[in-house]
């Protein structure tokens, strides 16, 4: 009788843990990614595109990046629970480029290849 009871307690415990794990999983699935377009007006060439893309991709929470030389924009898909638009702008600025209203970091700009300045 005693073994039987402790067995059912164990089963219940396992069930509880499973439900908890499942609840956590579905909570994660609820997070909806956002897509934002950021103006990067000082982009000039393919090297600029690469620099800006890499700066954004290094951020935790960035899912997809498309930097376009023609429209001089960066389209970023990101997780809004991990990042704000300003974090994206700051990362672009730190790589040496203007991003929306955020001006480029001067030191980073000076370190860019001469063709990108």
Nearest approach, Cβ of 64 to Cu ion (angstroms)? 22
| Of positions 65, 76, 91, 116, contacts Cu ion by CB under 5 A | 116
- Alpha helices, H only, 31-95: 46-57, 85-94
Which one of 10-18, 42-50, 61-69, 86-94 is the stretch in contact with Cu ion (CB under 5 A)? Answer: 42-50
Rounded Cα distance between 26 and 34, Å, is 18
Q: Give the nearer residue to Cu ion in terms of CB position, either 40 or 91.
A: 40
DSSP 113: -
Compute how many other C-beta atoms are within 10 angstroms of the C-beta atom of residue 21: 10
Which one of 15-23, 38-46, 58-66, 101-109 is the stretch in contact with Cu ion (CB under 5 A)? Answer: 38-46
| Of positions 18, 47, 54, 71, contacts Cu ion by CB under 5 A | 47
Of 43, 67, 38, residue with least CA distance to 54 = 67
Q: Kindly list the residues in this chain that would bind Cu ion in the complex (CB under 5 A).
A: 44-45, 47-48, 116
């Amino acid at each position: 009788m005693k073994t039987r009871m402790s067995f059912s307690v164990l089963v219940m415990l396992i069930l509880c843990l499973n439900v908890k794990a499942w609840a956590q999983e579905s909570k994660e699935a609820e997070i909806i990614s956002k897509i934002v377009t950021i103006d990067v007006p000082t982009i000039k060439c393919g090297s600029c595109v690469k620099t800006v893309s890499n700066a954004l991709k290094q951020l935790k929470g960035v899912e997809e990046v498309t930097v376009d030389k023609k429209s001089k924009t960066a389209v970023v898909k990101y997780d809004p629970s991990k990042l704000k638009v300003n974090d994206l702008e700051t990362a672009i600025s730190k790589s040496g480029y203007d991003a929306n209203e955020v001006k480029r970091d001067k030191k980073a700009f000076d370190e860019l290849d001469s063709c990108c300045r």
